[in-house]
């Protein structure tokens, strides 16, 4: 098979995803906010009851929230299934499981994958993903948002389905490491929607659930936040669609990063 990465087995996950994959449906409930709707209103809503900057914490998911990588992950899952002669999942089926643990992901996305071919599947997934990765970039507005929150002294963290090795690699590639006070990955404890990553970040950074905001693009992120007792908002430009996100009852759903940034500033500045 061309491009094989040899016998990397399950440890291939250390280079990319400790957990693999979205559903995309039409918007509903009027929860989606755009920058035009928020505009200067959010900038002027730096309210006294907002969370104190010195105690607040914003935790971001990575793929589909900060980085425009959902398509690459979905493509890589589909291509790996095709390489092994398995049933190729459609986009919705493949992308829905972004952020889940590996076994749970593959049970849903590739239900006919035999246990003894798991390592081969991961090898092919990694091969395709690493070929896509150089072309990946941040969503528009992400870097200005991170720079602004950093300038306000807001502690930020990452909770991602990526592995530690994979996250370290992309932090170096993007040059974003300095933005984040701490990070957690699925292979260090439990994958989403288990609350472990958030709870461990809270413990490490001395924050409390009521002053922590989880930002993600999947219901897995929102369910993790609910289990950890933190606040949560969603973005609709990643893996899961608005209808699915709304069912998890986030405080708000944003259709673009600038509107998210304005809202976060309104909540965190004091």
Distance CA 221, CA 231 (A): 11
pLDDT (average), residues 14-39: 39
Does the pLDDT of residue 51 top 60, yes or no?
no
- In the chain, pLDDT over 90 holds for what percent of residues? 66
Does the pLDDT of residue 45 top 90, yes or no?
no
CA distances from 98 to 43, 50, 73, 114 (A): 33, 32, 8, 20
Distance CA 220, CA 20 (A): 12
pLDDT (average), residues 181-197: 95
Closest CA to 243 of 24, 68, 21, 70: 24
For position 46, what pLDDT does the model report?
A: 28
pLDDT (average), residues 251-260: 97
pLDDT single digits (tens) 100-146: 776 778 878 999 999 899 999 989 999 999 999 888 999 999 999 99
Does the pLDDT of residue 261 top 90, yes or no?
yes
Partners of residue 59 on adjacent β-strands? 157, 214
Provide the pLDDT confidence category of residue 269 given band limits of 50, 70 and 90: low
What homologous superfamily is domain 32-68+137-268 in, according to CATH? Answer: HAD superfamily/HAD-like (3.40.50.1000)
Provide the pLDDT confidence category of residue 55 given band limits of 50, 70 and 90: low
Does the pLDDT of residue 174 top 80, yes or no?
yes
Partners of residue 232 on adjacent β-strands? 214
Distance CA 94, CA 243 (A): 18
pLDDT single digits (tens) 151-160: 999 999 999 9
Closest CA to 204 of 59, 62, 107, 15: 59
* C-beta separation of 203 from 157 below 8 A: no
Please give the backbone phi and psi of residue 115, each rounded to the nearest 5 degrees, phi first.
Answer: -55, -40
Q: Rounded to 5, what percent of the chain is helix, strand, coil?
A: 50, 15, 40
pLDDT single digits (tens) 88-100: 999 989 988 888 7
For position 238, what pLDDT does the model report?
A: 94
Tokens of 30: 């009027």
The pLDDT mean for the chain works out to 82
Does the pLDDT of residue 34 top 70, yes or no?
no
Catalytic residues: 61, 63
Domain extent listing, the chain: 9-20+70-135, 32-68+137-268
Distance CA 23, CA 219 (A): 10
Does the pLDDT of residue 71 top 90, yes or no?
yes
pLDDT (average), residues 249-264: 97
pLDDT (average), residues 194-223: 96
For position 40, what pLDDT does the model report?
A: 33
pLDDT single digits (tens) 8-26: 333 334 445 454 433 333 2
Distance CA 32, CA 2 (A): 44
């Amino acid at each position: 098979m061309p491009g094989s990465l040899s016998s990397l087995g399950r440890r291939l996950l250390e280079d990319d995803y400790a957990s693999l994959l979205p559903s995309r449906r039409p918007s509903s409930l009027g929860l989606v906010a755009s920058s035009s709707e928020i505009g200067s209103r959010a900038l002027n809503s730096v309210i006294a009851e907002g969370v104190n900057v010195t105690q607040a914490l914003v935790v971001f998911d990575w793929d589909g929230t900060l980085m425009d990588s959902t398509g690459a992950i979905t493509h890589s899952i589909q291509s790996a299934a095709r390489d092994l002669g398995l049933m190729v999942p459609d986009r919705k089926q493949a992308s829905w499981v972004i952020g889940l643990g590996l076994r749970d992901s593959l049970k849903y996305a590739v239900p006919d994958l035999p246990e003894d071919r798991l390592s081969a599947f991961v090898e092919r997934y990694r091969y395709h993903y690493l070929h896509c990765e150089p072309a990946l970039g941040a969503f528009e507005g992400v870097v200005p948002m991170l720079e602004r929150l950093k300038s306000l002294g807001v502690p930020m963290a990452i909770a991602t389905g990526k592995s530690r090795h994979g996250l370290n690699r992309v932090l170096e590639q993007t040059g974003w490491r300095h933005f984040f006070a701490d990070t957690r990955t699925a292979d260090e404890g439990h994958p989403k929607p288990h609350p472990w990553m958030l709870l461990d970040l809270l413990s490490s950074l001395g924050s409390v659930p009521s002053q922590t905001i989880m930002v993600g693009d999947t219901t897995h992120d929102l369910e993790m936040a609910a289990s950890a007792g933190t606040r949560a908002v969603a973005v609709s430009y990643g893996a899961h669609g608005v209808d699915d996100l709304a069912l998890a009852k986030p405080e708000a759903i944003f259709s673009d990063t600038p509107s998210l940034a304005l809202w976060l500033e309104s909540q965190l500045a004091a």
